């Protein structure tokens, strides 16, 4: 049974240690953080303990053709009138707070079935230690149907705080109907000793940043997302994709078998390490809400789904809208970028990519991949992740397969992987055998003006439609490398003017400036902290890119 606990929140003497993260939020800090006269005691609602071992045993019997289950939904019926505590303020306003405790949870969150608050009010959600704070959320965060659901919170407990001033237009309505209780440690909350393995079962998955120099843009297109439906929380992978109108539509290509009717959706960006041997990455960059634009099942099509994110995508995420190829040409090589087991972003190199029509009579809608030794494979949770061809264009999304990191018998002791995987062909999803229903094919959404394009290059959401772009990414010479910040740049530029952007390993743009271009010139990058960066120069015709290392 659920019951109320009385818990005193230990307030740090200095609040400079907490961080406020953005998820369609508007900054600031909770009222109680700024006023020392507010009581520190907050009542907690304790949820039922779930049987994680039993759930994991059930999950072990499920293959890649199903979404990865990561949590359980516990129904509740609470409002700010029937739980928590209210502190009345001198101006006639008040703050309401309540804590939620999910024993042994790896992450947790709350769903509001009614979120109707005046424009003067604000809501925050934070962990008991105040190290993780999201908000503020305002009336502008209300979603269709007068609902709202914030991003997941790491750990087993969190506090909801609502502030309403005395001059508010009306008394806000907050009704909570679901608590999400995570049992898979997708954020490495309980065990950060696993390092890059996180929640992945296998040990052969390289961190995506290991090949960032070659696949930087494509890595920035890949997201993991969660769906809450039918009493559970599920997770899959996907990739943001460009469309020929270049209008900044926030489309995500993924797998149809990840679909759940009536689901609530949360998308996570940049959940990746900053170094090749890194063990942690940010899990606070999210967007919520989406519309399902098109779907095709594995039985009728190539197991594809196109989503359009409705929530705000913060510009600091530096999201990339990947390019695509809708032809039937078999890739000569390629790459898969994904979140196996909900883990930090990984990258896997196919050993072969074959046309399923030439291998199996019932696999005509799929590309078939095998994997190189020690350079990755896929797992449950990788579902929906993109397969890129040799030109770094999406040609498919992961449906199912038997691959794993397990060693292949008779392989001279080398580590796996073994098995093969099936990626639904982008070319099949494009028209779905000339289906007349726009909700069952990609073409109406990704080529809305019916240009007949067979390929499209990717571009960053922050810059979409602003400048011309090209298929070619040219080499750029930068030396000395490593350097102390003063570097010489050399390239075969076609213009005497250009734009220089420098990105860190998380994809954030840390420097942008207009520059004069000569065959060789010097740049002062002393403002950059020591670390690994990627310099990109656009001369309005071509793109030039190089990896640089700053040491001081």
In the chain, domain spans: 3-62+70-182, 192-460, 467-550
**pLDDT for 258:** 96
Per-residue pLDDT tens over the stretch 503-539? 776 666 778 787 888 889 999 988 888 888 888 887 7
**pLDDT for 124:** 96
Q: What is the mean pLDDT of residues 46-66?
A: 92
**pLDDT for 472:** 47
The yes-or-no verdict on residue 405 having pLDDT over 60 is yes
CB 302 within 8 A of CB 368: no
CB atoms within 10 A of CB 241: 25
Share of the chain above pLDDT 90, in %: 57
The yes-or-no verdict on residue 4 having pLDDT over 50 is no
Kind and range of the H or E run holding 218: helix 212-219
Contacts of residue 531, defined as CB under 8 A and 6 or more positions apart, other chains included, come to 274, 504, 505, 549, 550
Tell me whether residue 205 is one of the annotated catalytic residues: no
- Retrieve residue 68's tokens: 């990865």
- Retrieve residue 393's tokens: 């264009």
pLDDT category at 468 given cuts 50, 70, 90 is very low
**Distance, CA of 189 to CA of 321 (rounded, Å):** 30
Q: Is the dihedral of CA 403, 404, 406, 411 positive or negative?
A: positive
**pLDDT for 190:** 63
Q: Which of 22, 109, 348, 383 is catalytic?
A: 383
**pLDDT for 10:** 30
Beta bridge partner(s), residue 256:
none
pLDDT category at 283 given cuts 50, 70, 90 is confident
DSSP codes joined into one string, 439-493: GG-SHHHHSTT----SEE--EEGGGTTTS---S-EEE-EEESSSBSSEEEEE---
The greatest distance separating any two alpha carbons of the chain, rounded to the nearest whole angstrom, comes to: 77
pLDDT category at 460 given cuts 50, 70, 90 is very high
Q: Which of 22, 25, 217, 257 is catalytic?
A: 257
Mean pLDDT, the chain, as a whole number?
Answer: 86
Tell me whether residue 303 is one of the annotated catalytic residues: yes
Q: Which of 212, 217, 303, 447 is catalytic?
A: 303
CA distances from 196 to 79, 210, 305, 508, 526 (A): 40, 12, 29, 21, 31
**pLDDT for 280:** 81
The yes-or-no verdict on residue 365 having pLDDT over 50 is yes
**Distance, CA of 404 to CA of 4 (rounded, Å):** 45
Q: Which CATH number fits domain 467-550: 3.40.1830.10, 2.60.40.3080, 3.20.20.100, 2.40.128.130?
A: 2.60.40.3080
Per-residue pLDDT tens over the stretch 111-161? 999 999 999 999 999 999 988 898 899 999 998 889 999 988 889 999 999
The yes-or-no verdict on residue 11 having pLDDT over 70 is no
Contacts of residue 160, defined as CB under 8 A and 6 or more positions apart, other chains included, come to 84, 97, 98, 99, 100, 110, 123, 124, 125
Contacts of residue 329, defined as CB under 8 A and 6 or more positions apart, other chains included, come to none
Residue 211: phi and psi, rounded to 5, are -120, 30
Q: Which CATH number fits domain 192-460: 1.20.1250.20, 3.30.1490.20, 1.10.10.10, 2.40.10.10?
A: 2.40.10.10
**Distance, CA of 367 to CA of 429 (rounded, Å):** 12
Tell me whether residue 257 is one of the annotated catalytic residues: yes
């Amino acid at each position: 049974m659920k019951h109320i606990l009385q818990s005193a929140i230990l307030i740090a003497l200095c609040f400079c240690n907490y961080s406020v993260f953005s998820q369609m939020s508007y900054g600031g800090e909770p009222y109680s953080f700024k006023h020392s006269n507010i009581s520190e005691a907050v009542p907690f609602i304790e949820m039922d303990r779930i049987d994680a071992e039993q759930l994991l045993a059930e999950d072990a019997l499920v293959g890649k053709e199903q979404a990865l289950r990561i949590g359980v939904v516990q129904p509740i019926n609470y409002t700010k009138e029937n739980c928590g505590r209210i502190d009345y303020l001198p101006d006639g306003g008040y703050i309401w707070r309540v804590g939620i405790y999910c024993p042994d949870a790896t992450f947790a969150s709350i769903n509001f079935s009614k979120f109707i608050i005046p424009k003067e009010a604000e809501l925050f959600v934070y962990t008991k230690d105040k190290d993780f704070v999201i908000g503020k959320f305002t009336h502008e965060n209300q979603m269709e149907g007068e609902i709202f659901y914030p991003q997941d919170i790491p750990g087993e407990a969190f506090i909801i705080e609502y502030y309403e001033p005395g001059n508010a237009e009306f008394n806000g309505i907050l009704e909570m109907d679901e608590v999400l209780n995570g049992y898979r440690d997708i954020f490495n909350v309980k065990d950060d000793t696993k390092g890059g393995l996180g929640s992945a079962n296998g040990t052969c998955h390289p961190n995506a940043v290991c090949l960032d120099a070659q696949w930087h843009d494509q890595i920035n297109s890949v997201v993991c997302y969660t769906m809450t439906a039918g009493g559970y929380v599920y997770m899959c992978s996907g990739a943001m994709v460009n469309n020929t109108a270049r209008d900044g539509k926030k489309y995500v290509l993924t797998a149809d078998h990840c679909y759940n009717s009536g689901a609530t959706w949360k998308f996570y960006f940049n959940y990746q390490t900053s170094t090749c041997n890194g063990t942690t990455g940010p899990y606070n960059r999210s967007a919520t809400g989406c519309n399902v634009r098109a779907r095709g099942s594995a039985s009728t099509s190539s197991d594809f789904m196109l989503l359009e994110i409705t929530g705000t995508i913060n510009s600091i995420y530096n999201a990339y809208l990947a390019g695509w190829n809708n032809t039937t040409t078999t890739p000569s090589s390629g790459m898969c970028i994904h979140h196996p087991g909900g883990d930090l972003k990984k990258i896997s190199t196919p050993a072969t990519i074959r046309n399923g029509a030439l291998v199996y009579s019932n696999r005509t809608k799929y590309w078939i991949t095998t994997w190189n030794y020690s350079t990755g494979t896929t797992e449950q949770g990788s579902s929906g992740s993109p397969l890129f061809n040799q030109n770094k264009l999406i040609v498919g999304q992961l449906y199912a397969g038997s691959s794993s990191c397990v060693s292949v018998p008779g392989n001279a002791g080398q580590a796996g992987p073994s098995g093969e995987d099936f990626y639904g062909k982008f070319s099949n999803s494009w028209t779905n055998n000339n289906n007349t229903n726009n909700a069952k094919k990609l073409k109406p959404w990704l080529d809305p003006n019916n240009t007949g394009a067979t390929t499209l290059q990717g571009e960053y959401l922050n810059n979409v439609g602003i400048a011309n772009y090209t298929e070619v990414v040219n080499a750029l010479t930068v030396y000395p490398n490593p350097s102390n910040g003063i570097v010489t740049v050399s390239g075969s530029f076609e213009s005497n003017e250009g734009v220089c952007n420098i990105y860190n390993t998380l994809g954030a743009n840390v420097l942008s400036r207009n520059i004069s271009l000569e065959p060789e010139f010097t740049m002062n990058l002393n403002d950059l902290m020591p670390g690994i960066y990627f310099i990109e120069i656009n001369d309005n015709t071509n793109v030039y890119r190089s990896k640089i290392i700053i040491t001081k």
